Each structure stands twice: as structure tokens, then as C-alpha cells.
Amino acid sequence: MRDRPALVLGLVAALVAVLAIVAAVVAGTREHPALDAGTPDGVVQLYVVALYDGDDATAVQHLDPALGCTDPLPERYLAGTARIGVAATTVTGDRATVDLRIEEGAGLDTWSHRETFTLRRDGETWLITGHPWPIYECERWVD
């Protein structure tokens, strides 16, 4: 009789562990939404995805040339994994502001922060201006 509560507790713990593994697999394999390079929030997300993929050439394409950024970009710290969500987008004429929620890391070693990006319209596309996270400045890195 004394073993019955321990057995039930063990089964519940095993079930919770299995559900956590299934949730992690499903979250890791779900498709990312299509990002629209014609919108400010799409451009910011494409820029951040390119940084996490180590694709500096693509990231630079989303930056205003006036920033002086070239491929390769200056070194920066990025966690191995991240979840990115748009918190807010404001468009006023040819200017836009995009606020991102970024959760970096995995498991118990995660941290989150918000980053604000400013953009300007350049014809049919948007370019990131100002001091974009996590690069902040490129001009001082140019030889």
C-alpha cells in the first residue's frame, strides 16, 4: 500500500516529462511565418533572422547604407537560439518604428529583452536606420 502513492507520483512525473518533450519537438519543428520584405516589421524580422543565421550579407541588405555597415558585420553576441515577436509597429509617412520582443537562450537559461528599430522608406522597401540592435554602429569599424 505504501508503494502506491510513489507509483502514482512516478507515473505523473513521467507523463509531464513526455509532454514537455513533445511540446519542445513541436515548437522546434513548426514553420516560421512568411516574412514580408515590403513591411517594416517584416524587414526587421528578416534582419534579425539573418543575424542569427550568420548571414551578414543579407542582414546588411536591410540596413540603411548611410550606417556604413558592410559584410562582415562587427562581432556581436547572440545566443544560440531565440524567439522573436513583434510587440508594436508604428508607421508615420516614410518613417516607421518596430518594437521586438526577443527571448534568447533555451531551457532555464533564457532571458528576454525588447529592442526598438527605426526605419525609413526607400522606394518600395524599408531600410533600418539609427543604431540597430545588436550592431549599434558600423562606421567606426570601417577601415
**58 & 26 share domain:** no
**17 & 79 share domain:** no
**69 & 122 share domain:** yes
**137 & 88 share domain:** yes
Higher pLDDT, 110 or 32: 110
CA dihedral 126, 78, 99, 29 (to 10 degrees): 90
Assess whether pLDDT exceeds 90 at residue 10.
no
Which residues lie across from 105 on neighbouring strands? 110
**49 & 116 share domain:** yes
**19 & 52 share domain:** no
Q: With the C-alpha atoms ordered 72, 73, 76, 80, is the resulting torsion angle positive or negative?
A: negative
Determine the Cα–Cα distance for residues 57 and 43; give it in Å rounded to an integer.
Answer: 14
- pLDDT tens track for 89-124: 999 999 999 999 999 888 788 899 999 999 999 998
- pLDDT tens track for 41-55: 999 999 999 998 999
Which residue in the block uniquely carries the three cell numbers 505504501? 2
**25 & 41 share domain:** no
**40 & 22 share domain:** no
- Cell numbers at residue 30, please? 513548426
Assess whether pLDDT exceeds 60 at residue 19.
no
> How many structural domains comprise the chain?
2
Task: Show the domain range for 56.
Answer: 35-141
Determine the Cα–Cα distance for residues 143 and 70; give it in Å rounded to an integer.
Answer: 11
User: The domain spanning residue 51 has which CATH number?
Assistant: 3.10.450.50
**6 & 57 share domain:** no
CA–CA distances in Å: residue 87 to residues 23, 36, 58, 112: 24, 17, 23, 13
